[in-house]
Amino acid sequence: MTEYRRPTFPVEIYRDEQGRPIDYGNRWGGESPPEDAYSRVSNVPRFAPLHDVADALIGWRQTTFDVAVEQTPSVAGDLLRLPEVRR
């Protein structure tokens, strides 16, 4: 059995509306973020590596365990909150 290794990615710097680097995890100085922060979608590219990590994890599971992988949107039909499913 091989050990899963997460892919590595270059460190990216994402900026706020004023052009200042965002210090994720410390942005609000230990306080809760403003209420409207939950209704906005920003810096979407920062999530792109999640797909690569998920693909690597699925590939590792396929080669390490006896599993079947289905990549059709219909398998997501039983989720409580249906996100946009691409595969």
The closest of 1, 7, 14 to 62, measured between CA atoms, is: 1
Number of structural domains found in the chain: 1
Which residues have a Cβ under 8 Å from the Cβ of 5 and sit 6 or more positions away?
56
The reply to whether 42 falls in a domain is: yes
What's residue 75's pLDDT? 82
Residue 15, beta-bridge partner list: 21
Rounded CA separation 28/68 (Å): 43
In a domain, 1, yes or no: no
Asked if residue 62 is part of any domain, the answer here is yes
Residue 46, helix vs strand vs coil: helix
Residue 40 lies in domain: 12-81
Span 47-79, pLDDT tens digits: 889 989 999 999 999 999 999 998 888 887 787
Q: Could you tell me if residue 47 is inside a domain?
A: yes
- The kind and range of the H/E element at 53 are helix 48-64
